[in-house]
Amino acid sequence: MASTAPQLPPLTGADSLEWRRETALVPYEQALGEMEARNAAVAAGEASELAWLLDHPPVYTAGTSADEAELINPQFDVIVAGRGGRYTYHGPGQRVGYLMLDLGKRGKDVRCFVHSIEGWVIDTLSDFGVEAWRAEGRVGIWTRDTDGREAKVGAIGVRVRRWVTMHGFSVNLDPDLSHFSGIIPCGIDEFGVTSLAKLGKNVSNDEWDEALIARAEGFLSALEAARQKACKT
């Protein structure tokens, strides 16, 4: 498993934040084990916070609200993830961001944490000319697909244990969209799933990572607003 550690500019409130960027696929169960260990270490004050960017081999994951009726054709392994949400797909071409952050020092507001992730992803997508938004009552990041209908381009699912976060978000850069047909993604069947590639945006992992990192200060500032009880959602 190859990992790169980019040189980053100082980020407000992020002096203890480690960044990891994987260049090889990371098996989901391996990532889950590493997340759980890092979560415990951060909570114990034995490790720094971590932002981890990676891709997985094809896999379906089940959140705490997963309904087996939404598992239509399990053509890949199905793993219980422990995060919130329902079924989702991970695979090559989908960039995943896992966050192990200490909300004890960044504001104990899970709703603001999720809202801040959404804003971070939406802002980063705008850097590639993709207009995206939140949708009331629908989890995820949404945009306009090639047929003019709304479609999901990013997913969010988090878990908080001892006020330290796990899991995070994913964005479809160029995955095999047919793989989503094995599930009803996040329990929403009336809307499709799209990708930056389908929208005519060819974005590499490196390009996405660098844009996301450049937007990280805004994300961390939003968490600071939560700490100061000034979060706006």
Give pLDDT tens digits for 89-115: 999 999 999 999 999 999 899 999 999
Is the confidence at residue 175, as pLDDT, over 90?
Answer: yes
Res. 13 pLDDT band, cuts 50 70 90: very low
Is the confidence at residue 15, as pLDDT, over 80?
Answer: no
Burial class (CB in 10 A: 0-12, 13-18, 19+), 9: exposed
Is the confidence at residue 192, as pLDDT, over 90?
Answer: no
Determine contact, residues 53/212, Cβ cutoff 8 Å: yes
Higher pLDDT, 170 or 107: 170
Q: What is the pLDDT of residue 6?
A: 44
**β-pair partners for 52:** 20, 98
Determine contact, residues 156/117, Cβ cutoff 8 Å: yes
**CATH superfamily, with its number, for domain 15-227:** Bira Bifunctional Protein; Domain 2 (3.30.930.10)
Q: Please tell me which residue in 51, 62, 156, 186 is annotated as part of the active site.
A: 186
- Burial per residue of 116-132, b for 16 or more beta-carbon CB atoms within 10 angstroms, e otherwise: bbbbbbbbbbeeeebeb
- Burial per residue of 66-80, b for 16 or more beta-carbon CB atoms within 10 angstroms, e otherwise: beeebbeeeebebbe
Is the confidence at residue 194, as pLDDT, over 90?
Answer: yes
Active site residue 186: yes
Determine contact, residues 96/205, Cβ cutoff 8 Å: no
Q: What is the residue extent of each domain of the chain?
A: 15-227
Across 188-192, 199-203, 210-214, least confident range: 188-192
Q: What is the pLDDT of residue 8?
A: 44
